[in-house]
Amino acid sequence: MPNPTKTIAIVNGTGRQAASVIRAVTAVGYAVRAQVYSIEGLVAEELAELPNVELFEGELLDNPELIETIFDGANIAFINTIHLAGDEIKIGKALANAAKKRNIQHFVYSSMPDHSIHYPKWPALPLWACKFTVENYIRQLGLPATFVYAGIYNNNFTSLPYPLFCMDFKDDGTLEWRAPFHPDTKLPWLDAEHDVGPAVLQIFKDGPNKWNGSRIALAFEMLTPNQVCDIFGRALDRPCNYVFDNHIEIKVPVPNVYRQQLAGIELLFGIYNAPYFPGPEFEYASRRKCSNDTITGRSSTNYESSLRKGKPGKLTDDARKLWPGWRSMSEYVSTAFIVEEEANGKTWMIDKTVSS
């Protein structure tokens, strides 16, 4: 039923996370005031047709008037900034200040870790550490806030020659994923478009009384690269091989900051095999014992101590309780991956049907 008392401010409305939230909250009657960088394109057009959605086009950097506009009349907010918009720290602080000024009742911020604060040899990934800086600023402001940490998007996989998550279709009919993640290290995964929205909606329903100050891992499965490739192979009915490679090959032009991000990933995960989400809030679930710092970057004694400080359970517990209808990697590959590939102009699924 419509819920006119809930109006949500959103930025980067056409992004996977924000668009998923908009679809979920409007389905239960929330009103949405969303900033978008362009009102053109399939996603923006779809969102504009949803009930109680207002889209505001423009850049966020050094644009206080637009920021004031999206918070006007809102009482909750979901904020996921992007590096392509400019200085994420400056934008994030401006959004937090506006939320504080407007007395936003619940501010859900999509954050990520700064690994460098956990161990000096671990690099700070530039596209993540800036979000952590903003998270700390939000805490200092005293906003009633919850911080969601999104795992790896299943949606990142593509046969296009993009770095890190290219699922390469070989001439011999096999698939290959080449990345700097250790083959048997479990990584957090989610279908961003299918699952972020319903999970965030439940966080809003629970409210800050339950989640204020919390970090929540939005991860619904813990899968190793080998397990991911096994799923792709079975779902697409062709062999899929994982190749562990410390070096990420860049075949297409990428922004310089993303190139720096990839270099940090090579070191952080390819060399140190650091946990994707470090810290006692998240590490309790990994249960890895190591005798030296070449794997986790710390002694086993300190690592086990950090595990004991965490709550019992699995890394996926919070997310699965928030949204029991999550989509598995297997279901994603069997359905959404094929659709997204076709949208990218790929015909491998048609070619195989014809040849068989």
For residue 19, is it within any domain?
no
pLDDT of residue 348: 84
The more confidently predicted of residues 287 and 262 is 262
pLDDT band at 343 (very low <50, low <70, confident <90, very high): confident
In angstroms, rounded to a whole number, what is the distance separating the alpha carbons of residues 95 and 90? 9
pLDDT band at 280 (very low <50, low <70, confident <90, very high): confident
Q: Mean pLDDT throughout 316-333?
A: 97
pLDDT of residue 300: 35
Dihedral sign, Cα of residue 157, residue 163, residue 169, residue 174: negative
For residue 12, is it within any domain?
no
Dihedral sign, Cα of residue 47, residue 57, residue 12, residue 5: negative
pLDDT of residue 282: 86
Q: Mean pLDDT throughout 10-21?
A: 98
Percent of the chain with pLDDT over 90: 83
Q: The domain that contains 238 carries what CATH number?
A: 3.90.25.10
pLDDT of residue 303: 36
| Residues ≥6 apart with Cβ < 8 Å to 74 | 7, 8, 9, 33, 102, 104
Each residue's pLDDT tens digit, 50-108: 999 999 999 999 999 999 999 999 999 999 999 888 899 999 999 999 999 999 999 99
For residue 163, is it within any domain?
yes
Q: Mean pLDDT throughout 150-164?
A: 96
For residue 187, is it within any domain?
yes
pLDDT of residue 349: 80
Residue 251 pLDDT exceeds 50: yes
For residue 273, is it within any domain?
yes
pLDDT of residue 284: 52
Strand pairing report for 31-36 and 7-10: parallel
pLDDT band at 351 (very low <50, low <70, confident <90, very high): low
Domain that holds residue 110: 105-355
pLDDT of residue 135: 98
For residue 30, is it within any domain?
no
Closest by CA position to 157, among listed 347, 353, 336, 21:
336
Residue 309 pLDDT exceeds 50: no
Query: Of how many residues is the chain composed?
Result: 356
For residue 134, is it within any domain?
yes
Q: CB–CB of 232/93 below 8 Å?
A: no
Q: Please name the amino acid found at residue 146.
A: T
pLDDT band at 26 (very low <50, low <70, confident <90, very high): very high
Domain count within the chain: 1
Beta bridge partners of 146: 108
pLDDT of residue 4: 54
Residue 296 pLDDT exceeds 60: no
The more confidently predicted of residues 355 and 161 is 161
Percent of the chain with pLDDT over 70: 88
> Nearest-5° angle of CA 143, CA 149, CA 152?
160
Each residue's pLDDT tens digit, 39-51: 999 999 999 999 9
Strand pairing report for 187-190 and 221-223: antiparallel
Average pLDDT, the chain: 90
For residue 94, is it within any domain?
no
pLDDT band at 347 (very low <50, low <70, confident <90, very high): confident
| Residues ≥6 apart with Cβ < 8 Å to 174 | 238, 239, 240, 241
